Structures are given as C-alpha cells and as structure tokens.
Amino acid sequence: MAERQYIIPYSRKPRKGTPMSIVPIVVWLPLIISTIGCSTHMVSVRYQPTGQIVSNALGEASVTVGSFTYDRGTDSNWLGAIRGGYGNPLKRLRTDKPTNEMVEVAFADALRARNMLGTKDNAKVAIEGNITKFDCSYYFNREAHAHLLVKVVVMPSRALIFSSTYKTDKTESGVGAGIFGDTDHLAAFAQRTLNESIDKVFSDPGFIEAILHPSLTPKARSTRSASERLREIEQLKENGLITDSEYEAKRKEILGGI
C-alpha cells in the first residue's frame, strides 16, 4: 500500500511569551493613539503686564499703534503645537485672529495700561514693526519665543525716529507631553513670553525718549550733550516713566560715554 503524504501549512512560531493576538495591537497602538490625539485648538492671547508698570500720569505721551507685519515663515494664525514621540504635532495651537492683529491689540493694551494711548487724530507718534518670531512648542520641554522689531514713526509723515529689536526666549521642563499635554498651559506660556517682550519695549529709555520728544531726529538725540541727557532721564524718573533701576542704568551709560 502506498504511503500517504500530508502537507501541513507553514505557520511561524510566535516568540515565547508573546501571544499572537497581542502582536498587531503592539504594532498599531502608537498609530492609533496618534490619530486619536490629533486636534486643533483656538486660543486667545491678550496683553497682561509681567511686572509693575509705570503709568504716564501726566499724559505727556500720546501714542497710537500702526501696522505690524509678520515674517515667521508660517501662516498668520499659527502659534505652536504639542508634539508626540516622533516630534509630530498632535495638538495644534492657532490664534483666534491673525498674529499681526493680535500684536497690534497687545501694544494698544500696553499703552492703555500706561495712560499713553492716543488716537490716530491726536497722537504725535505711532508704534509699528515686524514680528520675526512668535511661537511655542511642547516636546520634551516647553519652549516659547517672541522676537519683535519695534519702530516709532512721527505722525502723519511716518518718518522713522526709533528702531530696536526685543527678544524673549523661554524654556521650562514639563511632564506629560503628547496626547496628555495641556494646551491651555502652553498657550499661557506663549502669552507670558510675548508680554515680556512688550514690557522690554516700555522699559527701554531710548523708546520712552523717542515717544516723548519725537521732534528730535535720531542724530540730534545721539549728539546731545551728556548734561542734557542726564536732565532728560532725571525728568523721566520724576514723571514716573522709568524706574529707579532703569534710571541708574541709563545714568551709568551716559557717564561712561563722557
């Protein structure tokens, strides 16, 4: 009698201790989590002072806000993202209005808080500029950046009398990024970073001098005598437009240049 032959279908033997039913779950779980966690969150960013502000009690400065442009390489409403294990954005943060409009409103609020906000009809100068960097990210750590080029122009001619760049870069450690990352926390972190850059503008004696005395050209401001400049910052301090520490720093700078 002929011997029968049986063909048994080949099946790869699973690794010891790894049930076959678990293998697909292990492979696809990261992708499933990433897909579920992807979302977009609209946030509002508003100006709030980061420290004690000095109010223009005498109303000597009347300033309006002109146009800000942005040169960030992203779309106008992009703010940042909470990222997953591969650096992929899981939770995207977008502002409720274009970034340039948001910064213009923030500067108007900063002027209002200091009793410096005027109208386009009565203001002698306007603040305008460019947003070169404003974003945030949460991967291993939270990061936020706010870089602003700020200009002061005379109204209505828009002649440039002051220009300076202000940068704030902040980092803080965090736990629980990915789908568990807190978008509200990251948005607030970005807001504080922007507010610090704006407060740096209003703590700059050169900026204050420009909005108080717009009739002086930049050359005239730079060539004034040391005694004139010392009297100027003394008056700024008496009027409460700069703090004691800012006064001392500027005084040392003037005396060091004699």
Residue pLDDT, tens place only, 66-118:
999 988 878 899 999 999 877 788 999 999 999 999 999 999 999 999 999 99
Residue that is written with structure tokens 């050169």 in the block: 206
In a domain, 156, yes or no: yes
Q: Which amino acid is at 102?
A: M
Task: Specify the CATH number for the domain of residue 60.
Answer: 3.40.50.10610
Range of 44's domain? 38-204
* Alpha helix stretches (DSSP H) within 73-128: 99-113
In a domain, 60, yes or no: yes
Of residues 108, 40, 37, the one with CA closest to residue 75: 40
Residue pLDDT, tens place only, 155-177:
999 899 999 999 999 999 877 66
The model scores a pTM over 0.85 = no
Helix axes 183-202, 99-113, angle to 10 degrees: 60
Spell out the residues 6+ positions from residue 102 whose beta carbon is closer than 8 angstroms to its own.
Answer: 45, 95
Number of domains in the chain: 1
For the chain, the first-to-last Cα distance in angstroms comes to 119
pLDDT for the residue 8: 40
DSSP labels, 217-232: -HHHHHHS-HHHHHHH
Residue pLDDT, tens place only, 226-249:
777 788 788 777 767 677 887 888
Measured in degrees and rounded to the nearest 5, phi and psi for residue 90 equal: -100, -40
In a domain, 215, yes or no: no
Segments of the chain assigned E as strands? 39-43, 63-70, 78-83, 89-95, 125-138, 141-154, 159-173
pLDDT for the residue 77: 94
Higher pLDDT, 18 or 8: 18
